[in-house]
Structure 1
């Protein structure tokens, strides 16, 4: 149980990117994730160093599945976004709330 559970009032569907094939990206099993969606537009740096505009940041519990860049997140309204970055925030001995943050297009 996360200290942030009371804030996870949204649910999205995460479809993790598992790799690439000759036909394009491959994806794993879609999973519903309890989260908090912050629809703030911001400029972020993608893993390749390019600056990209993010339309939302999704915060999830520390036990959320991996959603590496290229994964998709489907919002309750049907909007599908692509993960730009994933950050697992762990505080170690500081005892701060651990969580996962995905910035998405």
Structure 2
């Protein structure tokens, strides 16, 4: 199967990938547009430190999208931040490979 079929990625999200911390706070890459599947559903996730956090939105993107934890994402006109992102890669198996991103 390979990656998630393009016809499922019906929405656009605007991603500013976190590049690190600067003297004035977080530094972000230039904004890019990614095609995505959006699930507006509240759920508990664990952040990078292992704390339980409520995620309001889950976004599915292409596997090679760059969207690490802390990145700024605009979805449906709402700007929020990535709690955690996880690569779902079947390593050549017939799976729908993708990047799953949990947003605040």
User: In the alignment, which residue of structure 2 is the partner of 1:51?
Assistant: 52
CA distance in 1, matches of 2:68, 2:47: 11
User: In the alignment, which residue of structure 2 is the partner of 1:69?
Assistant: 69
**Bigger RCO of structures 1 and 2 (CA < 8 A, at least 6 apart):** 2
User: In the alignment, which residue of structure 2 is the partner of 1:40?
Assistant: 41
Q: TM-score scaled to structure 2, two decimals?
A: 0.93
Structure 1 alignment gaps of length 5 or more:
none
Q: CA deviation at 1:3?
A: 4.2
Q: Alignment partner of 2:99: what SS?
A: strand
The RMSD of aligned alpha carbons is: 1.3
Q: Which runs of 4+ in 1 moved over 3 A?
A: none
Structure 2 alignment gaps of length 5 or more:
none
> How many pairs are equivalent?
103
User: In the alignment, which residue of structure 1 is the partner of 2:30?
Assistant: 29
